[in-house]
Structure 1
């Protein structure tokens, strides 16, 4: 697997670029230097080819103490790199620290791309050419915060590394499905957790987590192993009364980011709150599917059930394909439906559509419902987890038509339980 290492002086946006490329918040980002210390690695699938992306700490020449150790780790990462992304702040003229990391890259004799970050609009682009003096190539303008130019940068990386799609591997034994149980405080998350790990057909054993107050529980089922993580109840940050609560929130968000599926538990007697909406948005931003669980369903009469059904449909309408599971964690009623929902969501999350089948479907769809302008020439599925489709069109496609396409793709290929992404690239007719 090819390895791309992101380097630069402190606070130029390396971790923001890393998070943008990886597609989820793997690295902590703050508006102050030296937050990142250790090299952090993640693997992405770019147009069918696996690629390792490595985030590093800020390089400081001649530093001592901890800064020297961070800089040494950057040099070690470069020695293992196939390509270096040298990140600079396009809003600031080249500094001596920029020149120092450029010298290190040249000494390492590793191919490099100069990335001019924080180019949030075309008006910022003229300033990037000052960085030609660093001697590591022509600057490529991007905005890691807004995503501007990042797909083009990855295309350039693919060309430099001559990436080709990997052959389909032989089927491997099913790995654990990581499931985070999340929700507001006191909605029944722990009761559901206890029900799920206590299924009489399952062999249950405890697996310590990486934090002192977290215990992941792995459950053996007929369809594979599931690793459940019970998380702290999330509420608005302003209401945290102690540092412990704050760091519990941080660990909960990390569990969401690492999950293959998130179970969002909602108290059906209270309905969908604004905070529940925020949690669904947060899970969707992490790129993983969400299974909504309506707990305490047995406490509702027929009228209240109709009301909560409408509430879910209205307030969570921005998430396509939601099919809530209705349960009572206290009595166990309906809990048997949760495991099938988890495996269905995981299968959709990893669904891959053959290119020929995808293009036949799009050609037929365009014949029946052509775009308002232009035409989709062809399409490929470049990634899974979640399914990501690149549409090559001769004109831009309006958002309403893209939403229509997403709905029809989801319907045609039975991907109800996962988010999907559509990207459009313009090509000549």
Structure 2
């Protein structure tokens, strides 16, 4: 019996030893399968694309300010860029309510126009409520990043005007510059302009004369370059050199403002280039007078390397605001003063001397605010006087009714008294 039990125990041990590897293999296979399962990544949200809530609030606040400044007769929509919008599939989902209310009820081509007027066609898919084909091109062309905010302004049935607010922007600066771009139609400076002028200087060509541009065009047309860096034919250069050399030229030297005697020798120089031709003559005259009032070039300390077109826009906007300040009435709204000050603040941060305008604007805003408070106090007093007159009228009416009632009671009592005296004994 002992031998039989021993054999049974040994057989059980063998069975266990045979089963154990299978169990181990099963567990290892299970863990291996789990390790190959695709991980579920957390879906990006608007909050997750910003480093902090303050950064999110800042860019959204700027976007809302831009949206509020647009023409209210056309609907607008604010959209935060997520990673899926600007990388990978480049799919842009839109707001369902906005699409239902304002966009076509069928698939259609939607045009996106940026702030420079360049247009991009995109495919709007009504079932998926978003933009597909063409959106990738728009995103790449404008270097969109997660966290940027776009304001879509539906200016036509199938066209959005798109304003881009960068998540790493300069706050009020980019808003103000956006206003400058809208007013002045600023675009990037073609490198051919600077290349042509530098080439002309290197070859000791005579400076371009604004009075006789055609003569200079014929003299300098052989040095024209296209924007891609290649040389152009003589005919091609003849077409563009007039525009290039007439609009912008190199400055031989910088003349101090105290040596400027009249507008004829008043030159607006940015990055060593004379850009007088960027301004209409009336505006240039106004800017000259504005500089004379401060006995200095207001643009003298603009940031080095600043785009010439942008510099021209800043100068134009500064001059226009100075005109608006001169022409404004004391009844002007706070929003006007606020908009002007924001634009001037942006220009000041870029080096424009506008502190005297901001100081004047502050004083005018204070006086206008005091007038409004005075008017409000006067209206409040008038309202109180009107209320008093109304209460007095009601009091007189009550008094009249009371007197009439007293008269009736007195007459009744006199009549009763008379009847009582006339009763026979």
TM-score by length of 2: 0.21
The structure carrying a bigger helix percent of its residues is: 2
Which of 1 and 2 has greater Rg? 2
Bigger strand share:
1
